[in-house]
Amino acid sequence: MISKPLDEKVKPFKLVKYFTFTSLILIFLGILILAGLNNHWSRMMQLKKSEDYAKLLVANLNHQVYMKFYLPLSITHQRVIRLSEEKYYKRMDIIVKSTLHGFNVENVNIYDKHNTIIYGYDQKLIGTENVGDKGYLIALSGASTSKLIQRGNFFQILFGFPQNVKLITFAPLLTEEPLPTLTRQVFGVFEIVQDISEDFKTIFRFQILAIITITIIMGILFLALFFVVKRGETIIENRAMERLRLKEQLTKARHLSSLGEMVAGVSHEIRNPLGIIKSSAALLKKKMNNFDPSSTIPDIILEESDRLNNIITDFLNFAKPTMPNLAPCRIEEVLDRNITFLASQIEKQGYIIKKHYDNNLPKIMADSAMLYQAFLNILINSMQAMPGGGKIDIQLTSKDNSVTIIFEDEGEGVPEDVMEKIWGPFFTTKEKGTGLGLGIVKNIVALHNGTININNRSAKGAQVVVNLPVKQGI
């Protein structure tokens, strides 16, 4: 009965929860995509930087080679200069390596205009023909170009951390005339190879670190949000349950109020003729004594009239409980009066009352007559739970401006299926009774700002715990 309204109360919050978690996941995926794009942009920037770096190296190398090798030798020698000759190769090698010393260059090749290697770090390649590709042809036309070579498995290439990355740059080898207005001529091609693997791995490590940091931060946010949402969901569910419980109590209270007014009215109407019946039965008994002293009919009428009057009194006490007349009283004295009243029944049916009272118990502000009625009902219930007799323990303690009274019997206890029903009006497991006894007890305790609970003992029997404040309002 409660689950459907509760679901309706909690549903809007669940929608907010799902929207929040979905947004968090989408934000995380967006950040990962952005990190991937950032990795791509970083690689492109590094590649552009390496290309510009290669062009600067080529310009410097072009100047050094032309001014220190080709120009001096072309002036002093009339024949063709062949780098395959050891002396010319060594001279070129010194110029190239001294120029590129300290720079990140893995290999240098120089091609002539016929696509033949005329110089290289590896001297064995000199004379190799037709090894220049499209980049060579572009450089021969006077423009520089670069290409990226990546080596590694599929996943290394896919995720941007190849095992080996090289940038190969082809650039024209140009003449440098004394007069800048003269057109520079291409008489060869440079091929410069840079190993930029470490640069790409550095970028990849940085991106991995960024992704790990983002993941940790998002994980912390997710956990924090999860606990906040869980806490909020619990609070909303509890509040919804509390509202429903209060609504049910209000409905029940209205029903009981209407029922109480009806019962009070009916009880008053019944009590008047009942008084007439009782007095008539008393007169009948006197007259019957003269004619038939053995007749029990008047006694039965009187007995049943008294029982009916007690039932009506219970109805009135439950339907319209009177406000307590508060005055200082001692709980132990009230309990002793109860035990004295029940003494004959206790002795006759074999009950044993064990009292355990703390010393220096305080007086409390209460209506002793109402407490007397409440404790009497509890003791009678305990005795009725043990028809063949048994022990009843009464403990009386004081702590933190309150007094606690505990009643324990050795009966069968309260069945679990009726534990929640025992406080309801007109509910009883006895053949005779109105089912209002515990309801009246609960009303009396509530009017004194106290609490009452009934539990089954672990050993055997039931335990009733009544807690009353020493002073009202505390």
pLDDT in tens, the chain (474 residues): 444 444 555 556 566 667 777 777 887 788 778 777 777 787 788 888 888 888 888 888 888 888 888 888 777 664 566 777 788 888 888 988 888 888 888 899 999 888 889 898 888 888 888 888 888 999 888 899 988 888 878 777 776 677 888 889 999 988 876 545 456 788 889 999 988 888 878 877 887 888 788 888 878 887 887 787 778 778 878 888 888 888 887 887 677 667 666 666 666 666 667 667 767 767 767 777 766 666 677 777 777 776 676 666 666 666 556 678 888 999 999 999 999 988 888 888 889 999 999 888 888 998 888 899 888 888 988 888 888 888 999 999 988 888 999 999 988 877 776 666 666 655 555 555 555 667 778 888 888 889 888 888 777 888 889 999 988 764
Helix (H), strand (E), coil (C) string for the chain: CCHHHHHHHHHHHHHHHHHHHHHHHHHHHHHHHHHHHHHHHHHHHHHHHHHHHHHHHHHHHHHHHHHHHHHHHHHHCCCCCCCCCHHHHHHHHHHHHHHHCCCCCCEEEEECCCCEEEEECCHHHCCCECCCCHHHHHHHCCCCEEEEEEECCHHHHHCCCCCEEEEEEEEEEECCCCCCCCCCCEEEEEEEEEECHHHHHHHHHHHHHHHHHHHHHHHHHHHHHHHHHHHHHHHHHHHHHHHHHHHHHHHHHHHHHHHHHHHHHHHHHHHHHHHHHHHHHHHHHHHHHHHCCCCCHHHHHHHHHHHHHHHHHHHHHHHCCCCCCCEEECHHHHHHHHHHHCHHHHHHHCEEEEEEECCCCCCEEECHHHHHHHHHHHHHHHHHCCCCCEEEEEEEEEECCEEEEEEECCCCCCCHHHCCCCCCCCCCCCCCCCCCHHHHHHHHHHHCCCEEEEEECCCCCEEEEEEEECCCCC
| Homologous superfamily of the 323-469 domain (CATH) | Histidine kinase-like ATPase, C-terminal domain (3.30.565.10)
This prediction has a pTM of 0.44
CATH architecture under which domain 3-208 falls? 2-Layer Sandwich (3.30)
Which residue ranges make up each domain of the chain?
A: 3-208, 323-469
